[in-house]
Structures are given as C-alpha cells and as structure tokens.
A and B are shown apart, each in its own frame.
Chain A
Amino acid sequence: MLAAAPFWHRAAEWLLHAMAISAVVAIVLILVFIAKEAAPLFYSHEVRGEVTLGKMLAPQLWPGYDEAASIWQPVSDIPKFGLWPLVLGTIKVSIVAMVVSVPLGVGAAVYVSQYAGPRTREIVKPVVELLAGIPSVVLGFFALMVMATWFQNIFGLESRLNALVSGVALAFAVIPVIFTLAEEALRAVPRSYVEASTALGAARWQTIARVILPAASPGIAAGVALGLGRAVGETMIVLMASGNAAIVSASFADSTRTIAATIAAELAEVVFGGAHYTVLFFLGTLLFLVTFGINSVGDWAIRRMKRKLGSAT
C-alpha cells in the first residue's frame, strides 16, 4: 500500500500555487495603484480647479500669449499642463530610436542567422547580451558626456542635448531586443523552405529576401514591437540626454522632453495629492496602457509565429 502524501506536502503545493499567481497580482496592483493616484483628475474638486483632461488635451489661450497653445509648465505661476509637447517629444525620440535600431538589429540578425558559422554565433549572442545588460543610466551617461559632443561637432547642432542624441542612445538599448527576437525567428524558418526555394533555382539573396524574411516576419515584427515598447517607456537615457525642454517642434535637433522623463524629473518635487502629482500619475497610467498595448501585440505575434512555424515542420 502506498502511503498517502503527508499533509505538509499538500500544504507546500498549495502555497506554490498561491505564489504562482503573484505575477498576475503584481500587474493588477500596478494598474490599480497608479490609476488610483491619477483618478482625482476626474472627480476631485480641488484638482479639477487647476487642471482637467480637456485642458490637458485642447490648446488653451494663456494670459500673455497671442493664440491658444498646448504648453507644459506645471510649476509656473499659472500651472499649464498641456500634454502635446510631451507626446510629441516621446514620438520624436522613439522615431529616431526605431529608425536606427530596426535596420541594425534586423541586419545583424540576418547576418548571424544566414551567413555566420556556429562559432561566430556562439560569440556574438553573449556579446549582444552584454550590450543588453548595460544599465540604461550608463547609456544615458555616455550619451550625455560623450555622444552629445560628437553629434554637436559633426552636425553643428545648436543645442547639445536633443532628440537625435537621446534617440540614438535609446537605439543602443533597443537593438538587443530586436536582434534577439529577429535572430530566433530567422533561425526557426524550416530548412524545407530554403531547400524548396534553392531547388527552384533561387539565388541565396533571393531565398533570404523572398522566402526567409517573409516567413520570419511575425517574429521580426514582435521584436520591433517589443523594441518600440522599450523605446516609449525608457526613462533614464532620455532624462539625461534629451535636454528636457518641453517645446513643440518638428526638428530632431531641438531639445525634447518625453513623458517618462517628465515623471522622473518632476515627481520628487511635487506636493503629494496635488494637481501636479495627480497629472504625473495620469501620465504614468497612460504610459502603462500604451506599453501594455504594444507589448501585447508583440506577444501575440510571437505566439502566432510559434504556431505557424510549429505546424510547418
């Protein structure tokens, strides 16, 4: 007769199950607790006296200005919480980061997966992991101290810190994300695809461009999506290297302020529960929801690819 499992085994397993839902609890708590601090924006009389969602979104005619404008000046005599300079700044910096990191990440992944031998791959992959392991504060430091001067000398820029420098530094953090997922996707393309293409008389480049890349495209798209999520939410690099001027400008050479950097720069100095505090938590909620959406798309693409390539082999 088998002895029944002792009670403490079952207790331990029960505890294990309870601990396992911690990730779900964490993500729910994150949303609940940042949204809770942002909520007074919609009901608190005191907060709404200073700022409402409408005032943040629609350009306002401020005293001393000739026309309506969206302005972010939360600590001036008349606090102004116009969102658009920050949204535009976030978009600008992310565009630079993606324009730099997508070709580099995907290009390097194509080389490593299609041309390089196993030895090269064994060296390159850990080295890219090292690049991914550089703390963002170090990348921000490097952009601030070194790259900003280089860029200013090369391009003759007026402001040392701008969307271009911070975007390129941000790309350094995004490249490993895109490279890793793209390389995995490219390598997961079944050999039979390549053999069929070659048998039909396609050259190597034709096979890569017209068979392998399209087959791996969901995985590459996932890498790009996760990279974009990182770019939009990254804080320290842009905080240190973008110059943090909340201006509405189309030029990438101008100093720029992003949503994430605004939270980091301003939260330490606000009155708890005040209008500014509430608005910063609102920005955090916005950032959470946007990155959650982008990452969900990336996650969905990864699973789709696994299903697709899994059934093809």
Chain B
Amino acid sequence: MSVASVAPDRETIARHTARRTRRNVIADGALAVATGATLLLVLTILVVILFDVIRHGTPHLSWAFLSEAPRDGMTAGGIFPAIVGMVEMVLLMTLAGVPIGVATAIYLHEYASPVSPVTRAIRLAVANLAGVPSIVFGLFGLGFFVQFLGAGIDKAFFGSDKVFGQPALIWAALTMAVLTLPVVIVATEEALRAVPRELREASLALGATKFQTVFNVVVPQASSGILTGTILAVSRGAGEVAPILFTGAAYFLPLLPKSLSSQFMSPSYHVYVLSTQSPDVDATKPILYATVLVLLALTFTLNIAAVVVRARMRRRNAGGAG
C-alpha cells in the first residue's frame, strides 16, 4: 500500500478546514456573547439598585428632610443630625488620616529603597490593612481607642468621670482614619509614580536639596492624586457602618454633637438601624429609602469626582510627556 493512498485529497482537506473554521467562528461568537452577557448582568445589578432607590427615595426627599431632626420615634422628620454627625466624623478622619497616608506614600516612593526590609514591611502592612474586615476595625477601635486610650486619658485628667473612655466622635473618626489609610496611600503613590523623573532631575540639577525637590516640585505635581485619595477615603468613611458600631455611632440623639467626646448620628448607621430595628416598618420605609438615596447620591458624587480628577491628571501627564 502506498503512502499517497492514505493521505487525504485536497477536497477532504478543504472540507475539514471549512468545518473547523465554521466551528471556530461559532465558538468565537459564543465566547464573545457569553462574556458580554456577564458584563451586562454586572452593569444591570448597578442599574437595578439605582433605579429602585431613586424610585422609592425621591418622593420623600425634600429640603425639610435634610434640615430637620427625626421625630415620633423615627417615623417622621428628617436626618439633619445624621448629616452633621457624618460631616464632623469625616472631617476629623481626614485631618487625622490623610497627612499620615500622604507621608507614607512620599516616603515609599521618594525616599525608601524598594528592596529594604522596612519598605517591604510597610507595603505588606498596607496591602493587608486594606483587607482587614471592617468589623475587626470596630473591635480594634473599641479595644484600643475607647478602652485603652480613652480610659487612659480619663484616668489621667478626669479622675473617675467617664469622658473619653466611652464611644465618641473622636474614636470613631480615628478608627475610620486607620481603615481609610490604604486608600490614601495607594492613590498618592500612583500620582507620585506619574510625576516624570526629569522634573526631579531638573530640580536637583538646579541645586535644590532632596527635601526642596520633593516638597516644592514633586508633591505639587501629585496634588490631584492626593485629592483623589482624600475623596475616595471620605466616600468610604461616609458609607462604612461596622467600624463605628461600637466606637461612637448613636441610634438617636436629640442634640448635635458638641465636643469630641460626644456620640454622633450617621446616615449609614441610620440605614442599618431603621431597616433592622424599626418598630413600624411601613411608617419608616419612605424615610429609610430617602436616607439610602442621600447616602448613595453622596458616595456616587464623590466617586465620580475621584474618577474625573484622576482622568484629568492622567491626561495632563500624558500631554506633558508628549
């Protein structure tokens, strides 16, 4: 038997090739459609949540809702004290957390050797800090800030009075500052990485010291990245509940927080309490939806602002390099 007789003729090859091509076209299409469908599904989740919250939240939303305190056991009135409480907490959190986060990023990117054990320890800590469950931050806030620092301050300055040794605005803000630290560090470092090396070299060549170069040339260039990190941290801080459960959030306070040792209300905590512990679900439902709408509008506005700031920064850097 000759070899030629078992070799497929041209027609067979063409037929096989055509079949394989057809199969591949179908498989290609199927993969594109299947993965495209998963993307659509993911985007649908967001749209459905938004639609539901806007549809049920807007009817109850009014100026009075934003500017009045809750009344009649949370079944009437607004969320003004919660908004004030959140703003105060987030301001304190920013004051405490952002400088430390920015300093860490500057150290990591401008000063530290990338292979030194200190740098590696810091990077490992930042990565893992970002993954610590928020409820663990709550436990930490209670164990460290309230029980240890707060009680310590009380013992030293207030005798037997409980002033700082209990859940308070300042402890919630500091707990949240630790939680949002990685957000600030990552965003700032990304911005520092985008500053062209030539700028640093030009500054050093002009006789500026390292310190002058970093703080007069590099950091101003990275300011929008610092802003992005701050916005994202604020958005995260405004929405988290678990870390403030035991460190300062209150269900209902007739007065606005007066000092650092006061407890405070927050829209995020308000949502949790209203949806799980309401004595009259039907009466609180419109208020609940309106509160969720306010919270969602706030976090979305902040996140979109962060996206815009970052996009502008990238465009400017791309333009500068070209």
Q: Identify which of A20, A34, A260 contacts B122 (C-beta below 8 A).
A: A20
Q: Is B156 an interface residue (CB 8 A)?
A: no
CB pair A235–B133 under 8 Å, yes or no, is: yes
Q: Can you spell out 18 A-B residue pairs with CB atoms less than 8 angstroms apart? A: A20-B108, A21-B118, A26-B129, A34-B139, A34-B140, A111-B39, A131-B46, A137-B240, A137-B295, A145-B288, A203-B24, A235-B135, A280-B139, A284-B139, A291-B131, A292-B131, A295-B127, A299-B128
Q: Which residues of B contact A131 (CB under 8 A)?
A: 42, 45-46
Q: Is A29 an interface residue (CB 8 A)?
A: yes
Q: Is A155 an interface residue (CB 8 A)?
A: no
Binds A, one of B64-72, B77-85, B87-95, B99-107: B99-107
Q: Identify which of B137, B246, B271, B304 contacts A130 (C-beta below 8 A).
A: B304
Report A114-167 residues with CB < 8 Å from chain B CB.
Answer: 114-116, 124, 126-131, 133-142, 144-146
Q: Shortest CB–CB separation between residue B164 and chain A, in angstroms?
A: 16
Q: Is B268 an interface residue (CB 8 A)?
A: yes
Residue of A nearest to B126 (CB): A23
CB pair B46–A145 under 8 Å, yes or no, is: no
Q: How far is the CA of A22 from the CA of B134 in the complex (A)?
A: 18
Q: Which residues of A contact B103 (CB under 8 A)?
A: 15-16, 19-20, 22
B103-146 to A contact mask, C-beta < 8 Å, 1/0: 11011100110000010011011111111111111111011100
Residue of A nearest to B167 (CB): A268
CB pair A291–B118 under 8 Å, yes or no, is: no
Answer whether A263 and B240 are a contact pair too, CB < 8 Å, given A19-B107, A233-B133.
no
- The number of residue pairs between A and B whose CB atoms lie closer than 8 Å in the complex comes to 270
Answer whether A30 and B140 are a contact pair too, CB < 8 Å, given A23-B185, A108-B38.
yes
Report B288-308 residues with CB < 8 Å from chain A CB.
Answer: 288, 292, 295-296, 299-300, 302-304, 307
CB pair A236–B24 under 8 Å, yes or no, is: no
Binds B, one of A58-66, A76-84, A224-232: A224-232
Q: Is B28 an interface residue (CB 8 A)?
A: yes
Q: Is A13 an interface residue (CB 8 A)?
A: yes
Q: How large is the interface on A (under 10, 10 to 19, 20 to 34, 35 or more residues)?
A: 35 or more
Q: Is B226 an interface residue (CB 8 A)?
A: no
CB pair B135–A24 under 8 Å, yes or no, is: no
Q: For A33, A107, A138, which residue has the most chain B Cβ atoms within 10 angstroms?
A: A138
Q: How far is the CA of A36 from the CA of B139 in the complex (A)?
A: 11
Q: Which residues of B contact A288 (CB under 8 A)?
A: 132-133, 136
Q: Is A43 an interface residue (CB 8 A)?
A: no
Residue of B nearest to A114 (CB): B35
Q: Which residues of A contact B148 (CB under 8 A)?
A: 33
Q: Is A72 an interface residue (CB 8 A)?
A: no
Q: How far is the CA of A272 from the CA of B139 in the complex (A)?
A: 12
Q: Which residues of A contact B181 (CB under 8 A)?
A: 22-23, 26
Q: For B111, B212, B296, B300, which residue has the most chain A Cβ atoms within 10 angstroms?
A: B296
Q: Identify which of B41, B49, B133 contacts A134 (C-beta below 8 A).
A: B49
A247-273 to B contact mask, C-beta < 8 Å, 1/0: 000000000000010011001100010
CB pair A137–B239 under 8 Å, yes or no, is: yes
Q: Which residues of B contact A263 (CB under 8 A)?
A: 135, 138-139
Q: Is A48 an interface residue (CB 8 A)?
A: no
Q: Which residues of A contact B125 (CB under 8 A)?
A: 23-24, 26-27
CB pair A136–B241 under 8 Å, yes or no, is: yes
Given contacts A23-B125, A203-B24, 7 further A-B contacts (CB under 8 A): A13-B111, A21-B122, A23-B122, A24-B121, A133-B239, A138-B53, A292-B128
